[in-house]
């Protein structure tokens, strides 16, 4: 099931920084929201639809959405959350749907330039010194001064990025997402007057037009109504939810066959994170040894052995949340941001088809993968 969430107002999704009353005056936001935020919103909508909070607390909804303490037995699986575009509310026309993906970290753009052309980084020995443990950093070989741009690839561009070559790619600047700060002040409930020292500011976001919104890809909860309102984020804001027909996976079956053949031939590949991932070793998956070797037994019983070549990883983001049950903050983790890319080579008799089946369009986060963290796509290395 894929849903398009069309906001009725500006949205606010808090990041992991403290925002305590009377201490911090600025509430910083993260956009797009973490997958766990959408998981909470979807579960709340299901509870409201299927009988209410009492039935949920009695465990009657456990097969679908779990309990207030665990989702271990729940069928609900969130694949990922994306920025997207769809047609008007009353007339969604074919061909108007689009899904946007964060620019991969192994692509750069010219600094301080209006040009949106992207340039691929190359694997190789560098002529500078670094404390990185990776012997083959990704570097740019051109003459321009380049930066990692903030922006998006449309689905056709991401498909080209994964299947190659990575040249002739362009990105969309995030000018369709507007900063909309909100100023407020806390009131004394007894006198209904403003409290001293309680002025605050929220960094809210608003889409430029109503064609833009969020796309949620989920499964295991088919009984959820696909149309209606959905409360999302801070300040009690709502979105209109609608079915979304366009698939979020950029590669079809013929593409996956071609990808497997290319990886089998070159014996190398890259993994692109479409959503943030939480790894127990910081930016490294927990099963990746210090020697860079990753040994995997797939669900189908195939053995995979991979060698890490290099990686392009952005600054960490904080993935936390609030526990209604305990009335306290959840454990916060440093997550690898979406758009990060890892380069590997295949070792021994590793089968490329098994590798693609194991990683592509699968959530491979060490933690909270059921909530949509670590959605991974496989691509070839140029």
**CATH number of the domain located at residue range(s) 253-379 in this protein:** 2.60.40.4350
Cβ–Cβ < 8 Å for 171, 109: yes
Query: For residue 182, what pLDDT is reported?
Result: 81
Q: At what angle do helices 253-266 and 352-359 cross, to 10 degrees?
A: 130
Q: Is the peptide bond before 165 cis (omega within 30 degrees of 0)?
A: yes
β-pairing, 268-273 vs 146-147, is unpaired
Strand-pairing partners, residue 139, are: 122
Cβ–Cβ < 8 Å for 64, 77: no
Query: For residue 92, what pLDDT is reported?
Result: 45
pLDDT means over runs of 10, the chain (382 residues): 93 72 67 92 93 89 89 92 81 69 95 91 73 79 88 96 90 91 79 76 87 95 91 88 94 95 93 96 90 85 88 89 67 92 90 92 94 96 84
Strand-pairing partners, residue 218, are: 78
Distance CA 81, CA 100 (A): 10
Start-end ranges of CATH 2.60.40.4350 in the chain?
253-379
Of 372, 374, 370, nearest to 66 by C-alpha is 370
Cβ–Cβ < 8 Å for 149, 314: no
C-alpha distances (whole Å) from 132 to each of 137, 178, 310 are 8, 36, 10
Query: For residue 24, what pLDDT is reported?
Result: 62
How is residue 290 written in tokens? 């210090």
Distance CA 379, CA 185 (A): 49
E strand or H helix that includes residue 322: strand 322-323
Distance CA 170, CA 165 (A): 13
How is residue 51 written in tokens? 């009988």
How is residue 36 written in tokens? 């766990």
């Amino acid at each position: 099931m894929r849903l398009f969430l069309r906001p009725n107002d500006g949205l606010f999704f808090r990041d992991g920084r403290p925002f305590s009353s009377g201490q911090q005056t600025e509430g910083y936001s993260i956009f797009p929201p973490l997958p766990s935020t959408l998981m909470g919103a979807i579960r709340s909508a299901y509870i409201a639809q299927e009988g209410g909070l009492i039935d949920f607390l009695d465990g009657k909804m456990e097969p679908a959405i779990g309990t207030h303490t665990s989702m271990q037995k729940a069928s609900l699986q969130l694949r990922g959350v994306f920025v997207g575009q769809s047609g008007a509310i009353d007339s969604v026309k074919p061909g108007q749907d689009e899904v946007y993906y964060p620019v991969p970290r192994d692509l750069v753009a010219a600094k301080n330039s209006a040009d949106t052309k992207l340039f691929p980084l190359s694997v190789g020995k560098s002529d500078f010194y670094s404390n990185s443990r990776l012997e083959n950093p990704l570097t740019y070989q051109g003459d321009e001064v380049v930066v990692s741009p903030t922006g998006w690839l449309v689905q056709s561009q991401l498909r080209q990025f994964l299947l190659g070559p990575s040249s002739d790619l362009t990105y969309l600047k995030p000018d369709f997402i507007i900063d909309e700060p909100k100023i407020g002040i806390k009131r004394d409930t007894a006198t209904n007057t403003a409290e001293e020292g309680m002025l605050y500011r929220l960094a809210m976001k608003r889409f430029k037009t109503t064609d833009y919104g969020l796309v949620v890809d989920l499964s295991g909860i088919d009984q959820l109504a696909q149309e209606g309102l959905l409360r999302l984020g801070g300040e009690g804001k709502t979105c209109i939810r609608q079915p979304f027909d366009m698939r979020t996976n950029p590669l079809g079956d013929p593409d996956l066959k071609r990808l497997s053949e290319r990886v089998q031939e070159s014996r190398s590949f890259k993994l692109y994170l479409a959503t943030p991932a939480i790894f127990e070793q910081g930016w490294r998956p927990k099963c990746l040894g210090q020697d860079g070797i990753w040994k995997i037994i797939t669900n189908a019983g195939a053995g995979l052995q991979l060698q890490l070549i290099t990686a392009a990883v952005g600054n960490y983001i904080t993935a936390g949340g609030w526990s209604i049950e305990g009335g306290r903050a959840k454990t916060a983790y440093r997550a690898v941001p979406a758009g990060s890319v890892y380069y590997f080579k295949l070792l021994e008799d590793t089968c490329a088809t098994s590798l693609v089946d194991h990683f592509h369009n699968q959530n491979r986060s060490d933690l909270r993968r059921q909530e949509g963290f670590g959605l991974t796509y496989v691509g070839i290395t140029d």
